[in-house]
Structure 1
Amino acid sequence: MSPFGAGNASFVGRAFFRQGLTSSLESDLVNGAVLVAEAGMGKSALVRHVLKDPAGGTLAIWIQGSPVLSAVPFGAMAPHLSLGTFADALSALAVLRGFREFLEIFQTGAGVRPVVVVDDAQHLDTDSALLLAQLTAAEEVRLVVLTRSITELPHDLLALGKDGLLRRIDLAPLTAAEAHGLCASHLGGDVLPSASRYFHAAAGGNPLLMKLLIDRSRSVGHVVQRKGFWMLSGEPPKPGRLIGDLVQAQLSSRSASERMLLETIGLGEPVPLSALLDLGNPSAVDALENDGLITHEGSPTGLTRLTQPLVGAVIRETVPMGRRMGLRNALTQVFNPEDEPAAHTLRWVEWALDCGSPVSSSGLLRAAAEANQFFDPDFAIRTATKITDPELAVEATVELARARMLRNELEDAEDLLSGLIAAATSLQAAEAAAWMSARYVLAAKKPGSRVGKYAEEWRAAIERIAQQPDSDTCPEQLKIARESNQLLEYYALNCEGLYSRSLPGLTAMAQQDASTPVNRMLALALLGEALAFSGKTESGLRASAEAMHLMGAGGHATAVHAGLVVRRHLELLILGGRWEQIEAVLALYPFTEPRASTYFGGTVGLAQARVLCRQGRFDLALPQIGMSIEALHQHDMEQLLPLALGLGAYAAAVCGERELAERYSDEFEAGRATGHAPTLMLGRCYVVAARAAMDENSAELMKLADQLASLGLVAVETQALELGLHLGRVDLLLRLAETPDQGEGADRRILVRMAKAYVEGDVEAMVSAAAEATEGGYTLIAAACLDSALAYAQELPRHPQLAKVRRDIIAAREQLSEVPKPVPALAAGALPQLTRRESAIAALVRRGASNREIANELSVSTRTVEGHLYRMFSKLGISRREDLPKLIGK
């Protein structure tokens, strides 16, 4: 049995690297490993866990490199030596003999070579490095080398790696899942996934930085615990002293040229690679890149950023003003920031303002827009309030309103936006004011119909500007503006669920190819929504996917509407059952921005919970929904809280949490939310289904389904019918079986197949529908198919072939054991419907017949009668045979 790896169970993540290190210490091909990673990445912690013995001791000899002792011969090895004279300390032979004596005392067992770990090996003196290299090559020890920089290792240790005696392991940052586990462990409770995403992104996956940042955030109230869940609140804090000390220690270990480059990038990132090469030694740039401190974007100029966002934050907080000005003056000698695209101006403008340098109003406006785009409302307000050009006043006010909305200062945002469209003197300003006003409607929980009012105001502004005597607008600009105004009108119709009115225009606009990439992107996104909610899910997904592609290729111009496009695409993926694509969308802007976690925590958590619910994993979904609801109470830019409350009520009801279900249901009703009507209707479906699950009124859900069908909201109607089916309403199968058009949605297609098979008595077709549902990820529908198939098969006469079918159904259902059985839903005061066979058995029981007499009367086995009685007891909520006649009598 291997002596290594006893401490793995208590270590968070890093399984791949633990295994790599363990195999390096056990291998006959190599004599150890070199672990390369920056400070705080957990090199020492990883080694300590792998080398921890079962008794709690250690299996290693630790040697600590130090910059103070790097020039002292054998200075790092002194603690492990017992030498008689000073001359012995300078004798390589005496030191070798003394260290071998120490190794003999430290032997861990017969046949096991001692393990020597060298921490901060980049500071190890050359004499100690040579001695350890000799012992490793002679296979007297196993060697583990920990270093921040592979290029700074002593030559002899570096040669061991080149010769293949040590295996190089580059310790990567924590994954998102590992970071979530670390956050939960460090905070001691459930953590909203968006919070762990923030800490993971802000710290670059560095475990030590993550822990320090969590502590810092907790101390200033940026991460708070609400109803048992840890989540983000407010703006991120400045790094603070502990994080600053760690980063400063990292910077102090670099050369002067490297520090100058790091500070320059931190103050003005991104900086073109060509400018960095003109500023400093090219070898310094290479060293920073090799050590993973900087990264180059794939742009023509090779824009360079710091790998660690916190390093940049510390630099911007600690570099003295005089040095800031000097670094900026040096950089402007080789690079003009005006040459860069507008999307990369934020840090440049901040640097200029800090140094007291003038910035044009157009530059300030670009920086304000970028700050809002990256969810930094404080800096957006700082820059927008400095704009003095009257021609940019409306657009500056738009950015101010956007920043106020991010800060949840909705009344201030409304005041800023009031009359702003009418005040616009340019087409561009009017467009910005109109779309921001529409965004405010959802953020402020106003009726979606108000969006149409803003579209009318914008249309009037376009015509007013076009008729101005001094207007310099050309026909093409007017065409683009009118087209964008039409899109806002279609957006207003979609918000009200009036897809039959928006679809023709959106379809025509998509077919004719809109005049700009932004307008085409918006047209496709809105068209995808209208198609999907109208029942044409596949067509909607194709349109939405094209919109996503245009957004990714459009840069800053399309990023303004990123929230609208991504939110709708996410909704369509959920409706269409494309579970595997959802995480890929959550890895895109805006969700990837560290600061975005505060604003989209509820959106992300709710999307993941909805997938779990549609797969029947209500036990896993319920806590996720609870966390999402708390996050949406803080920031709900798309009015998703009603949907979250409805879903939470239903999940709680299914899980037997009646009190929680009632609380969520009551909050839904008290909210009286307005906004995006289809989303609100979906939330109401869940609330009504929750009440039905609590035995209040199942008929209300069917009425709601009828209403949805009349409105043309096929996707939401399908959800309502599916919920009814999961609540045991088998009569819904008759309604579904009569559906003439199955539509494009996979869920509806499977439900219709199942219903027709049930009506036709085709058990095998029901099982086939269940298999299709399982393959598509609709495990909840699959379970319903199998439950219905089994119930029907149990009613059929005994036959060897049918017995096998029953066994196959039971086996398939057991594979979906995590999916709950249907929850019986009753009309007010009503009893569940019994099948024909169950009704016959109930009548015989009422006449006093025994099980054997019933079996003889119906030509079935006694066991079959017992099985029917058991299911009847469960349906009717009784436990004794004597209660059956009384209940049936009612």
Structure 2
Amino acid sequence: MQGFASQELVGRDREVDAVLSALRSPELRGALIVAEAGMGKSALANVVAGKLAQEMPVHRIHASSALTGIPFGALAPLLPVLSAEDTDSPLAVMRALLGRLRPAGAGSGQATPLVVVDDAHALDESTADLLSQLMASGRVRMLILTRSITDIPAGIPAQVWSGVIARFHLHPLTDAQVHELCSQVLGGAILSTTSAELARRSGGNPMFILALLAETRRTGSLTERHGVWLMGVNADPPQGRLADLLKAQLSGLSSEEREAMEIIALAEPVPVAVAFRLGLHRSVDALTAANLVSVEEAGSRLLRPRHPLYGQLVRHMVPAARSARLRQRVLKVLPEDTESMDGLLRSVGWSLDCGATVPDETLLRAAYMANNFFDSDFALRAAREIQDPALQPAARVQTARAHYQRANFDAAQELVTGTVEQAADLTTVKLGTLLRVQLHQRLASDVAGLDQARRAWQEAIERIAAEAEAAGTLNDELRADIESSWRGAALLEALIDVAKGAYSSSEAGISSLLEKARSAGDIEAELVSLALLGEIHSACGRAETAMVYTREALGIVNRSDHRFLNYHEFVLHRHLSALLWAGAWDEMANSVNQDLVISSRSALRIGGTVDMCLAVRELRRGDMPAALLKLTAAVEGMRTHDPEGHLGLALAIAAQLAAGAGDTDTADEMLAECDKAPPRGGLSTRVITRGNRLAAGYARTNDPRILAALRETAEQAEEQGLVAAEFELRCLSMYLGDPTVMNRLLKLEVEGPRGRAVNIFARAVLDHDIAGLLRFAAEPADPDARALGPLALQEALRLAKASGDRTQIQRVQRVISKTDNGTSSSRSSTAPILTRRETDVAALVAKGLRNAEIAGRLHLSVRTVEGHIYRIFEKLGIGKREELTAELLQE
């Protein structure tokens, strides 16, 4: 990995241009950049200074707290000949400084020098006053870097407020910019949710991002697998350089501010009212001004450490005895009814750390919530402390859930076995059943086990109801819970039918259950019904309708104060599927970002699914190298977490793209792995996976029998009423050159921009509308139709040749020629920069070496070489190895 000082500036192009414009403006005297430590002020100034070095003399001043008490101390590097006596004379210092900045022999035509002042908030008053005078007189221009304007001595701020100095704020990097920075530093592909988690933990601060990358690599939390970087769950406190950087930010706190920071970190989140009752008013103001603490304005105003890293470090640094004393102090003013769910987990954890007794019911609730937040370590810790024999079945279920989330499936299976039959309450029965369903979907490919789980649930409901009636405890509340449980069992039966592909028969029953759930106020059954209806509509080609249902289901989860987080992945996967079919990419990004806010650990688990959705987006837009890069990352993510059984599909699509790019080794490897993977997921997913596997085989071999098998599989999907699956398979055949699918594609009614684009394309082909096909290729109705552009040109040329009209043929050929030239021009004009390793790999590819040979030459794994090649293709805008020539590399 590259060092901290060697990174290219990422995400600051707009700011660089704006600062350059300000420094070149005759109406302004300089520019001021404000940002917290680590945001890249100095890096941006280096870029600006480098660009201006040919236009004006550039000088640097580095202020520091060690020099704040020394008059003109920051100017020492520019005043080497000044005697000690002269330092007491501001006039002598000014003359000496001007002599350095504007030498007498330079002539009157010399450009005004630029003085870059780093850490201007640490300037001594004498230096700040002198620089302010020089700038006001127009003798120098200044680029001032500071954490706070108000901390700069008077004079310079006055010129900022008067408008003669332009002011710029550096904001945290966006998720996309963090992803770019991580890819640059790691020199390889990184799962999108991994970079998003790094962005969350660092707050988008580049300094913390770089330190996090180094630290997580060192601890093994961030690992490379087959050329893709993935993040595991890491609850360890910051260490090494990362810890040093964080401690440096905390080092200037007073004892009162440090104590406030400790309380906020240990009791996170802390209501503002509680902090005020503790007398932390001034400390909280100071901490927020220093960007160490943030205030959540929505709902109850809550205080949290600005970055999660601060909280982790401070909690680790507080001694146990001090932590216990602070806890007692906080408990005196903290109302019990104000705890949020994450506040509950922090409170229970803090109590256990201090050796305090926690009621078993609270421990069970904490274990349940920890599992919902995918904090398996804490769930195991809380469940282990439960002593009440009556709560042991429920504790076992939570322990089993934690092991399932850790991928310890055998342990989870052993623990959950018998809990449904032994449980005395309906909640434990439900949670045990849901876990059995998850385990079966993960470990088996049939639905028989799901039926067994459903029957066990129904028998447990009957048993608990009979026992309550016999004991005389069957009150109205329990009756409502029993009715809700019966609805849950009916929905599990519906889920089984949906998995079998029985969409038509299931839809009416689920719609009826939805109405009953709404009438009874059963929100849990309502959200499950909505998610299943969304899945049905997606599979039937009604993605835009499906979005309405899945969006409502996800909204229920997000609005319910973490009550239904155990359904979050189930709902989110169905929502992402609907958005994918509908081409609603902006909403998909928003949904993933919201998922990261709700639980970062959940986002790490769906990373493979997210990158697969992004890959499909690039596929539809015709960017095959970018799609292959994302699919490679998706495959690695799904090897770890694939609850919906999409790994085989990702492998099959990746194999198609690799074969199309001429990388037969990778295509064969992925096809072999696809064939070994057991069929998983619902019927629609399995059919689509099979179709893509056939398409990949045809791309690899051009065997016409495979194309016939793909056509047959599409016909089977038609017979089974799998509209979306049939549409996908017919489109695959169309891309592979099968002309027989156009009539059927025209008849299929599929919602979404892609469905409409395919309909227009098929109509133009069947009508022999050459002009229409050329318009379609030149002006796609939607970005998702771009991939059809080359195919439209091919069909236009075929139809023109079939007509024998030479004028038409020449017209189409001219359009194709212009398209090819435009693509080439666009590719070369971007002047992509390859890393040194990518350049080495590209040179060997251009020489005709195979991936294994390149790996041997450069002492890399074959997968790492593949990752480099995919990134090279993406940067150069090419799709085949044959296009990677020495001439292209020279460009």
Aligned runs of 1:115-126 on 2, under 5 Å? Answer: 115-126=114-125
Q: Deviations over 1:149-204 (max 9, x none)?
A: 33433233333322323333221112222222222222233333333222222211
| Partner of residue 857, structure 1 | none
| Partner of residue 78, structure 2 | 80
Q: Deviations over 1:461-507 (max 9, x none)?
A: 11211111334453322222222222222222222322233211122
CA distance in 2 between counterparts of 1:111 and 1:806 reads: 58
| Partner of residue 798, structure 1 | 805
CA distance in 2 between counterparts of 1:191 and 1:214 reads: 12
Residue 494 (str. 1) matches residue 493 (str. 2)? no
Q: CA deviation at 1:803?
A: 7.2
Contact preservation (8 Å) 1:184, 1:190: yes
Aligned runs of 1:234-313 on 2, under 5 Å? Answer: 235=234, 237-313=236-312
CA distance in 2 between counterparts of 1:55 and 1:113 reads: 12
CA distance in 2 between counterparts of 1:123 and 1:169 reads: 19
CA distance in 1 between counterparts of 2:444 and 2:35 reads: 48
Q: Deviations over 1:813-862 (max 9, x none)?
A: 9878999xxxxxxxxxxxxxxxxxxxxxxxxxxxxxxxxxxxxxxxxxxx
Letter in 1 for 2:308: P
CA distance in 1 between counterparts of 2:556 and 2:310 reads: 33
Report which stretch shifted further, 651-660 or 376-385.
651-660
Q: Look up the SS of the partner of 2:606 in the other structure.
A: helix
CA distance in 1 between counterparts of 2:134 and 2:444 reads: 72
CA distance in 2 between counterparts of 1:784 and 1:85 reads: 78
Q: Deviations over 1:422-470 (max 9, x none)?
A: 2221122212222222222333355344333222211221121111133
Q: Deviations over 1:374-394 (max 9, x none)?
A: 332212211221122344333
| Partner of residue 777, structure 1 | 784
Q: CA deviation at 1:746?
A: 4.7
CA 56–19 in structure 1, closer or farther in 2 if over 3 Å, else same = closer
CA 236–227 in structure 1, closer or farther in 2 if over 3 Å, else same = farther
Report which stretch shifted further, 432-441 or 558-567.
432-441
Q: Deviations over 1:678-732 (max 9, x none)?
A: 2222111110111122223211101111221122111011100000011101022
TM-score (norm 1): 0.85
Q: Look up the SS of the partner of 1:167 in the other structure.
A: strand
Between Structure 1 and Structure 2, whose CA radius of gyration is higher? 1
Q: Look up the SS of the partner of 2:115 in the other structure.
A: strand
Q: Deviations over 1:616-664 (max 9, x none)?
A: 3222212221222122222323322111111112222222323322222
Aligned runs of 1:702-741 on 2, under 5 Å? Answer: 702-737=711-746, 739=747
Q: Look up the SS of the partner of 1:63 in the other structure.
A: strand
| Partner of residue 508, structure 2 | 504
Q: CA deviation at 1:581?
A: 2.7
Among candidates 686, 693, 718, match of residue 692 of structure 2 = 686
CA distance in 2 between counterparts of 1:19 and 1:365 reads: 56
Q: Look up the SS of the partner of 2:303 in the other structure.
A: strand
| Partner of residue 485, structure 1 | 489
| Partner of residue 831, structure 1 | none
CA distance in 2 between counterparts of 1:107 and 1:423 reads: 95
Letter in 1 for 2:578: L
Contact preservation (8 Å) 1:349, 1:364: yes
Q: Look up the SS of the partner of 2:311 in the other structure.
A: helix
| Partner of residue 879, structure 1 | none
Q: Look up the SS of the partner of 1:71 in the other structure.
A: coil
CA distance in 1 between counterparts of 2:750 and 2:223 reads: 45
Contact preservation (8 Å) 1:617, 1:818: no
Q: CA deviation at 1:757?
A: 4.5
| Partner of residue 356, structure 1 | 355
CA distance in 2 between counterparts of 1:677 and 1:317 reads: 49
| Partner of residue 839, structure 2 | none
CA 537–814 in structure 1, closer or farther in 2 if over 3 Å, else same = farther
CA distance in 2 between counterparts of 1:68 and 1:29 reads: 35
Contact preservation (8 Å) 1:770, 1:785: yes
Q: CA deviation at 1:539?
A: 2.0
Q: Deviations over 1:733-785 (max 9, x none)?
A: 24445x3x635455445444544543444445656776896426222334434
CA 449–609 in structure 1, closer or farther in 2 if over 3 Å, else same = farther
Contact preservation (8 Å) 2:377, 2:402: yes
| Partner of residue 345, structure 1 | 344
Aligned runs of 1:695-844 on 2, under 5 Å? Answer: 695-696=702-703, 697-737=706-746, 739=747, 742-744=749-751, 746-763=753-770, 774-775=781-782, 777-798=784-805
Aligned runs of 1:306-345 on 2, under 5 Å? Answer: 306-345=305-344
Among candidates 638, 653, 664, match of residue 658 of structure 1 = 664
The structure with higher relative contact order (CA 8 Å, sep 6+) is 2
Contact preservation (8 Å) 1:203, 1:308: yes
Q: CA deviation at 1:86?
A: 4.3
CA distance in 1 between counterparts of 2:384 and 2:55 reads: 61
| Partner of residue 13, structure 2 | 15
CA 762–98 in structure 1, closer or farther in 2 if over 3 Å, else same = closer
CA distance in 2 between counterparts of 1:30 and 1:330 reads: 54
CA 772–32 in structure 1, closer or farther in 2 if over 3 Å, else same = closer
Contact preservation (8 Å) 1:649, 1:686: no
Contact preservation (8 Å) 1:266, 1:312: yes
TM-score (norm 2): 0.84
Q: Look up the SS of the partner of 1:467 in the other structure.
A: helix
Report which stretch shifted further, 360-369 or 521-530.
360-369
Q: Deviations over 1:194-239 (max 9, x none)?
A: 3322222221111121111111111122222222222224535431
Q: Deviations over 1:558-597 (max 9, x none)?
A: 3221111111111111112223332222212157744445
Letter in 2 for 1:599: R
CA 214–800 in structure 1, closer or farther in 2 if over 3 Å, else same = closer
CA distance in 1 between counterparts of 2:353 and 2:674 reads: 47
CA distance in 2 between counterparts of 1:220 and 1:106 reads: 57
Give the percent of matched residue pairs that are identical in Structure 1 and Structure 2.
Answer: 32
CA 810–189 in structure 1, closer or farther in 2 if over 3 Å, else same = closer
Contact preservation (8 Å) 1:373, 1:559: yes
Contact preservation (8 Å) 2:246, 2:310: yes
Contact preservation (8 Å) 2:57, 2:112: no
Among candidates 56, 63, 66, match of residue 65 of structure 1 = 63
| Partner of residue 564, structure 2 | 558
| Partner of residue 232, structure 1 | 231
CA distance in 1 between counterparts of 2:55 and 2:616 reads: 47
Q: Look up the SS of the partner of 1:61 in the other structure.
A: strand
Identify unmatched segments of 5+ residues in structure 1. 1-6, 820-890
CA 167–724 in structure 1, closer or farther in 2 if over 3 Å, else same = same
CA distance in 1 between counterparts of 2:255 and 2:649 reads: 56
Q: Look up the SS of the partner of 1:518 in the other structure.
A: helix
Q: Look up the SS of the partner of 1:582 in the other structure.
A: helix
CA 281–313 in structure 1, closer or farther in 2 if over 3 Å, else same = closer
CA distance in 1 between counterparts of 2:717 and 2:822 reads: 34
CA distance in 2 between counterparts of 1:710 and 1:748 reads: 20
CA distance in 2 between counterparts of 1:253 and 1:9 reads: 28
CA 216–809 in structure 1, closer or farther in 2 if over 3 Å, else same = closer
CA distance in 2 between counterparts of 1:243 and 1:305 reads: 20
Contact preservation (8 Å) 2:621, 2:783: no
**RMSD between superposed Cα atoms in Å:** 3.1
Contact preservation (8 Å) 2:274, 2:333: yes
Contact preservation (8 Å) 1:448, 1:677: no
CA 79–666 in structure 1, closer or farther in 2 if over 3 Å, else same = closer
CA 454–782 in structure 1, closer or farther in 2 if over 3 Å, else same = farther
Q: Look up the SS of the partner of 2:61 in the other structure.
A: strand
Contact preservation (8 Å) 1:496, 1:675: no
Aligned runs of 1:79-118 on 2, under 5 Å? Answer: 79-82=77-80, 86-105=84-103, 110-118=109-117
